[in-house]
Amino acid sequence: MAAQRFISHTNGPSVDLSCGLGHQAGENVGDWSAGINDTQLNTMFMNSPDHRANILGPYHYVATAWAVSNGYGYIAVEFS
């Protein structure tokens, strides 16, 4: 996402499933114009019904990664 400079769900859950961690996967993606801000993005995710459902869902594993490009922070949160 950082390389393309926009958020996208392209292949995220499909790649998660190929890891063999389970039969269900979810993904939350976001960006922040001032770089990395865990608190702000978590608030945004929790205020969105679909993103909140992933966070509180039936998953056993979670992975989070930030990348920064041109001052913008991009986050991907993967659930399985």
Give the model confidence (pLDDT) of 63-73 as tens digits.
Answer: 999 999 999 99
Q: Is the pLDDT of residue 38 over 90?
A: yes
Contact indicator for 63, 26 with CB cutoff of 8 Å: no
| DSSP string for 11-32 | THHHHHHHTTS-S--EEEEEEE
- Give the closest residue to 11 by CA, choosing from 66, 76, 73: 76
Per the prediction, the chain carries an average pLDDT of: 87
| Tokens 């979810």, residue located | 26
Q: How far apart are CA 50 and CA 13, in angstroms?
A: 15
pLDDT > 70? residue 12: no
- pTM passes above 0.85: no
d(CA 71, CA 80): 30
